[in-house]
Structure formats: structure tokens, C-alpha cells
């Protein structure tokens, strides 16, 4: 139950910071539980003022993990400049992603060269909740409804390894196309966006 509230709050906060009143002044943003802005595919939520540049998540992750450049310094680069940075890496170069996965230079370039609409469709198709989440969500929402109606509440420990691990593996993904023309990718802060990207790339036939 609390995880649903946390995820909703994260999405609301990111939108309020990056796009207040449908403003497009902030072009790229992210929300992380860490003390720094790391690779976008390794955090829990990202925002882009232009939905067609959602692949910026992958490109910035490459620049950060391969070139050891800070995301906050590279975030303002154009997509052409980011593509050139990826292309400059040696053929066959790879980056390691948290969780043990690797992504190749060629996979990132293929994603950048994919039509934005096709990439967004693949991300949306990959954002469906899994069976484990679908099994518990109705129960959680029922509890939220009962509490809203005035039922008594009790403190519980939501930091157990079992609970955290469940969210790391099963928290749902949201791909939100915004009225302003932007897009937000989000999940619970305990999870990263990489599994969403990995599934989308797989759907497109782009292997890492």
C-alpha cells in the first residue's frame, strides 16, 4: 500500500519540479534515492520535455557509465552530440548496468536511431505489471480505501529485505505521455528503469 503512495508522490514531485504549469523550461530531469544524479537507466524516474527524446536516458547513461562524465553536465547536450559521444567509443564497447546486465555501444546506437514513436510504443508495451504485482495490488488498494474511510491504522516495518526485494523486482512501470508533449518514465524508487528499457529493446529486436 505504502509503495503505491510513494510512487505516486515521486511522479507528482518530479512533474512539479520539471514541468510546473506545463512549462517546458526543464528539458531533462530525474529522481533518485541516491545523493547524486546517476545513469538514468539506473534510477527510478526520468522526465523529458520532448517525448521524442526519451532515448536520451540511454545516451546519457552511456556517457556517464562509459565516459565517466557527470549526467548533470551532459544533460544539456543535443541528441546529435550525445550520439556522437556514443559513436566515438570503440566497436564492441559495453557498459555494465546495476544488476549484472551489460549494454553494448551498438545497442545504444540502434536505439538512438529508432523512430521515437516506435521506441515509445515499445516502452509502453513493456510497462505492463507482472503477475506478482497484479496479485497484490487489488489488496493494497482495498486497504487504502478502508483507511480513507476511517479504519484504524498500525505501524509496520516496510524496510524488511523481503519487502524491498519484492519492490525491486515487481514494482510497476509507468510511461506517461504528458499534455505538454513531454514524457515521464517512472517506477518505485527501490527499482530502476533498466528492466523497462531492456524489455523494450528486446521487443524491438535490439540485443545488448
What does the pLDDT look like over 91-149, one tens digit per residue?
A: 999 999 988 899 999 999 999 999 999 999 999 999 988 777 667 667 666 766 766 77
* CA 31 to chain CA mean position, Å: 9
Length of the chain: 208
Please report the pLDDT score of residue 183 as a whole number: 93
CA 18 and chain centroid, separation: 15
Look at the block and give the residue holding cell 493494497: 140
Which pTM does this prediction carry? Answer: 0.82
Q: Any alpha helices (H) in the chain, and if so which ranges?
A: 2-18, 56-67, 71-74, 79-87, 105-113, 116-126, 131-148, 161-170, 194-203
Tell me what pLDDT residue 139 has.
Answer: 65
Which residues, given as ranges, of the chain have pLDDT below 70? 1-6, 20-25, 34-35, 133-134, 136-137, 139-141, 143-144, 146-147, 151, 154-158, 163
> Which pLDDT value is given to residue 13?
76
Q: What CA–CA distance (Å, rounded) separates 179 from 159? A: 36
Amino acid at each position: 500500500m505504502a509503495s503505491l503512495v510513494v510512487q505516486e508522490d515521486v511522479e507528482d514531485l518530479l512533474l512539479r519540479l520539471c514541468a510546473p504549469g506545463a512549462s517546458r523550461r526543464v528539458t531533462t530531469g530525474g529522481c533518485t534515492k541516491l545523493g547524486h544524479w546517476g545513469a538514468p537507466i539506473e534510477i527510478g524516474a526520468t522526465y523529458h520535455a520532448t517525448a521524442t527524446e526519451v532515448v536520451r536516458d540511454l545516451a546519457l547513461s552511456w556517457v556517464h557509465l562509459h565516459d565517466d562524465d557527470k549526467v548533470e553536465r551532459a544533460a544539456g547536450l543535443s541528441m546529435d552530440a550525445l550520439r556522437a559521444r556514443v559513436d566515438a567509443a570503440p566497436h564492441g564497447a559495453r557498459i555494465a548496468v546495476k544488476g549484472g546486465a551489460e549494454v553494448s555501444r551498438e545497442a545504444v546506437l540502434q536505439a538512438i536511431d529508432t523512430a521515437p514513436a516506435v521506441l515509445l510504443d515499445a516502452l509502453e508495451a513493456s510497462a505492463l505489471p507482472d503477475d506478482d504485482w497484479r496479485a497484490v495490488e487489488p489488496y493494497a488498494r482495498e486497504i487504502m480505501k478502508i483507511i480513507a474511510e476511517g479504519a484504524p491504522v498500525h505501524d509496520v516495518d516496510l524496510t524488511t529485505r523481503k519487502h524491498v526485494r519484492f519492490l525491486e523486482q515487481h514494482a510497476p512501470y509507468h510511461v506517461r505521455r504528458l499534455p505538454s508533449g513531454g514524457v515521464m518514465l517512472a517506477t518505485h524508487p527501490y527499482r530502476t528503469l533498466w528492466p523497462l528499457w531492456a524489455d523494450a529493446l528486446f521487443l524491438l529486436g535490439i540485443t545488448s
